[in-house]
Structure 1
Amino acid sequence: MADGQRGMAVRLLWGPPVTPARGPRRGLTLEQIAAAGVGIADAEGLGGVSMQGVAAGLGVTKMALYRYVPGKAELVALMVEAALPEPGGALDVALAGAGAGWRERLGVWARELLEGYRAHPWVLDATVGARVLGPREVGWLERALAALEGRGLSGAEAMDVVVLVAGHVRGIVEQERASGGAGGVDAELGAVLGEVVRERGDDYPALAAALGSQAVHGGQDQGLEFGLERILDGVGLLVERRARS
């Protein structure tokens, strides 16, 4: 995002409210514009979003839309802000029910973030690279960092923990999207590997044993929880080490 776009995105996301400087007022709000873009992205993906398409959905001309939002980069920034769940709503309720432990709080945070991405998978594409974060996205970051306060971690370490957890969540949703939904990754991989083992199991005895154990004891579709728990195990060791030092 260029400097000029970044400055406009900051203004659109953080205020003050934008009023068209010229032309007839059509009564549009940034919330309406963002919602129209989100609707298109939910149906067609981020690549299906255009200023022309959003304008048509709102019943205005593209030139009228430009009076509110100068381009697609700023439009997408507004869409991300609109698509993310409000961090002070269901998340805070869930956190209150999870108790005061940092581990439980980060676990709830990760699961709520997962549901947000699942509801709007295109947000994954829209939240890469250097860009402007809106109040909701910053609010999510704030809550994750607050869970780690007083644990002896430096600010940089706390940020790295949040990035690591968020990256794990993003990876799970990316896999789900590529395979057509939750559970699809394990189902597809299991089918392929099962065929390999049936035909050449003697060449891959460890794989055959793992798949056999999985068939008996279960354990599929645990990618999020298994990875999250291992990440938090590692953070817990670091927290303990700092407490002793």
Structure 2
Amino acid sequence: MGEAANDMVRLLWGPPAKPTRGPKPALSLERIASAGVEVADAEGLAAVSMQKVAGLLDFTKMSLYRYVPGKAELVALMVESAVDAPPAPTEGADWREQLTAWAHHLSEAFDRHPWLLDATVGPRVLGPRELAWLERAVAALDGHGLTGPERMDAAVLLAGHVRGIAGQSRAAGPAGSPEAELLAALGPVVRTHADRFPAVAAAMADPNGRDQALDFGLERILDGLAALIARRTQQP
């Protein structure tokens, strides 16, 4: 591994090297990560900088560099701080129930920290908590006739669905925001032009329930996995 990758592994998996120069350490990786999360929650990931995090902690930017080499490593620590642990399997829950709980907990994490969508893309070193999420999903499918790659792909598929819905929710914005008002304007437009778009107009006018995109997609993915498991294990 290169030096940058080694730094990332050391910071996430530890134990981190202690500063070799300067006064006795007064900071910790946990405090630094928490400050970064605070900035990202309030202003978004783009607002996070070594300077801003240092200021929030009442330290200089150079003090932070004694603990964290740069912003990429800072963001990695922030992800580990924000994701929390995955849900523990409920006693007696089958694989489908476990993965449903897993997906909903992941969705809640993105709701609490929308910037995680931006921070968890591309090739990178996963920390212990993030890897624990993958472990939980893959383990739920153990012993059901799926290959290792298939179990990994299933976890990626589920995470991708949750991410997609979370991304749409973030783009829609909170109630009263300009984004939300733009989306709200679609309904009257469709009703006005219902003769051109009758299927969409009928679907939007259907009073049966509200949009349940997360659960609808999740159920369809799990239905597909159930069919595959049934074929592999020769269940009726």
TM-score by length of 1: 0.89
Residue 149 of structure 1 is matched in structure 2 by 142
| Residue 109 (str. 1) matches residue 102 (str. 2) | yes
Partner Cα distance (1:118, 1:80) in 2: 14
Partner Cα distance (1:205, 1:86) in 2: 46
Residue 219 of structure 1 is matched in structure 2 by 210
| Residue 206 (str. 1) matches residue 199 (str. 2) | yes
Residues 138-164 of structure 1: CA deviation (Å, up to 9, x unaligned): 111111111000011111111111001
Unmatched runs of 5 consecutive residues or more in structure 2: none
| Secondary structure of 1:9's aligned partner | helix
Residue 123 of structure 1 is matched in structure 2 by 116
Deviation at 1:203, TM superposition (A): 1.6
Residue 233 of structure 1 is matched in structure 2 by 223
Partner Cα distance (1:63, 1:219) in 2: 51
Partner Cα distance (1:124, 1:134) in 2: 16
Partner Cα distance (1:235, 1:131) in 2: 28
Partner Cα distance (1:45, 1:189) in 2: 22
The 4+ residue runs of structure 1 with deviation greater than 3 A are 187-193
Q: Structure 1 residues 189 and 64 mapped into 2: Cα distance closer, same or farther (>3 Å)?
A: closer
Residue 18 of structure 2 is matched in structure 1 by 19
Deviation at 1:21, TM superposition (A): 1.5
Q: Which amino acid aligns with 2:115?
A: W
| Residue 96 (str. 1) matches residue 90 (str. 2) | yes
Q: Structure 1 residues 143 and 189 mapped into 2: Cα distance closer, same or farther (>3 Å)?
A: farther
Q: Which amino acid aligns with 2:65?
A: Y
| Secondary structure of 2:194's aligned partner | helix
State the identity %: 60
Q: Is the 8 A contact 1:50 1:72 kept in 2?
A: yes
- Aligned alpha-carbon RMSD (Å): 2.0
Partner Cα distance (2:183, 2:60) in 1: 50
Residue 64 of structure 2 is matched in structure 1 by 65
Partner Cα distance (2:173, 2:224) in 1: 31
| Residue 134 (str. 1) matches residue 132 (str. 2) | no
Residue 48 of structure 1 is matched in structure 2 by 47
Residue 85 of structure 2 is matched in structure 1 by 86
Q: Structure 1 residues 188 and 158 mapped into 2: Cα distance closer, same or farther (>3 Å)?
A: farther
Partner Cα distance (1:140, 1:177) in 2: 22
Q: Which amino acid aligns with 1:5?
A: A
Unmatched runs of 5 consecutive residues or more in structure 1: none
| Secondary structure of 2:17's aligned partner | coil
Higher helix share: 1
Number of residue pairs matched by the alignment: 232
Deviation at 1:199, TM superposition (A): 1.9
TM-score by length of 2: 0.92
